[in-house]
Amino acid sequence: MPPVRVLVVDDSVVVRKLLSEAIVSSPEIQLAGTASNGAIALARIPQLNPDVVTLDIEMPGLNGIETLTEIRKLYPKLPVIMFSTLTEQGAEVTLEALSRGASDYLTKPTNSASLANAIEQVRRDLVAKILSLGHRNRASQPAPVLRAQKRKTEANPIEILAIGTSTGGPNALAEVIPQFPPDFGVPVVIVQHMPPLFTRLLAERLDSQSKLHVHEGRAGMPLDAGHVWIAPGDYHMRVVRKGLQAALELNQEPPENSCRPAVDVLFRSVAQAYGPNVLAVVMTGMGSDGAHGAAHIREAGGEIIVQDEASSVVWGMPGAVLSSAGADLICPLPEIGNQVLRKVEASRLRTSNATARSAV
């Protein structure tokens, strides 16, 4: 397979050099060219025909958001990775870029003692993103599917919804969570792979868009219906039972699947705390985080929905869950919210009917 061609766009000579050296360190990636501002980038895209663009957010002239907007008009399927600072302003602009169609993002290295260390940090984080997005951009995508895997299980009441996602996840969550009504009958816990600060701003953004109350996870908070909790960056989030009440627990134990927070950690905990009364959803994301945790949920009798390949930015996580743990339903992103609502409402109706019959 030919190497993935990358156009690097950044006004800083140092950053362009850093990214270029990180990119050429992989034999599977080729530096197609560089551009020092958005206008030059837009002129060079048709000349260089890149598979992926890395785009700085803060640039003179056309800034990153404005350049991204033009790229999306002209090249709607060209993957774009935003390159931002790990600051509140950088996080806010990155989330805005993701909402406008950026495929993924990377934060600039901090506290690097040398250029070599900075290059290694970028290389480690960037190469996998470029390869995943670049190969997907070249591949022809299958048509969306909606199908169930037959499994003999009893219809257990759903008491919690657990969601895992990564690359493309902020937009996926922005499509799914606002569909839930204010009387949504179960608590929601989410792992979205993001660094500190980004997860808080993501929670605030989703809270402003949703009928449910969306928060960044805090240790000891009880899990009540009508509330959504997003694992904070750099912390694993677990669900633990305290008598009849479930609550959140945070820790900084070693990363799993190179991730902290990790979906596997959350999924294992909900399987242990809720047994068969779990509905889990795995959406777009790079890597395989969530596959082992999903197996625990399936073994406990819970249900799993995975996003289909066609509607995923990257089908790594949903595909890994499907391959290793299986799923009860595979469906495109626009259908996930409806399917979750249908399952939760059916569960509440069964529970209500059972309670009425026992009272007779």
At residue 141, does pLDDT exceed 60?
no
Whether residue 168 is found in the same domain as residue 296: yes
At residue 23, does pLDDT exceed 70?
yes
Report, as an integer, the average pLDDT of 74-100.
Answer: 91
Whether residue 312 is found in the same domain as residue 191: yes
At residue 132, does pLDDT exceed 50?
yes
Indicate the length of the chain as a whole number: 360
Final residue in a domain of this structure, among 107, 138, 169 = 138
Final residue in a domain of this structure, among 138, 173, 200 = 138
The pLDDT tens digits for 212-247 are 999 999 999 999 999 999 999 999 999 999 888 999
Catalytic residue among 56, 104, 289, 328: 289
- CATH code for position 84: 3.40.50.2300
* Sign of torsion over alpha carbons 62, 66, 70, 71: positive
Please give the Cα distance from 71 to 100 (Å, whole number).
11
> Does any domain span residue 231?
yes
> Does any domain span residue 146?
no
* Sign of torsion over alpha carbons 183, 187, 191, 194: positive
**Does the annotation mark 166 as catalytic?**
yes
> Does any domain span residue 131?
yes
H-run or E-run covering 321: helix 316-324
Whether residue 194 is found in the same domain as residue 300: yes
Extract the tokens encoding 224.
């009540």
Whether residue 346 is found in the same domain as residue 206: yes
> Does any domain span residue 148?
no
The set of residues, in sequence order, having a beta carbon less than 8 Å from that of 184 and lying 6+ positions away, is 211, 212, 225, 226, 341, 344
> Does any domain span residue 347?
yes
Catalytic residue among 193, 215, 236, 296: 193
pTM (predicted TM-score): 0.91
Whether residue 78 is found in the same domain as residue 188: no
> Does any domain span residue 190?
yes
Whether residue 11 is found in the same domain as residue 54: yes
Cβ atoms of residues 20 and 48 within 8 Å: no
Whether residue 235 is found in the same domain as residue 299: yes
Range of lowest pLDDT (42-46, 339-343, 348-352) = 348-352
Whether residue 99 is found in the same domain as residue 218: no
Which residue in 106, 235, 181 sits closest to 344, CA to CA? Answer: 181
Whether residue 291 is found in the same domain as residue 348: yes
> Does any domain span residue 144?
no
Whether residue 172 is found in the same domain as residue 133: no
The pLDDT tens digits for 173-201 are 999 999 999 999 999 999 999 999 999 99
71: containing domain:
4-138
Whether residue 116 is found in the same domain as residue 198: no
> Does any domain span residue 147?
no
Report, as an integer, the average pLDDT of 113-133.
Answer: 79
**Binning pLDDT at 50, 70 and 90, where does residue 298 land?**
very high
**Does the annotation mark 289 as catalytic?**
yes
- CATH code for position 346: 3.40.50.180
Whether residue 117 is found in the same domain as residue 180: no
Number of compact structural domains in the chain? 2
Catalytic residue among 36, 84, 166, 312: 166
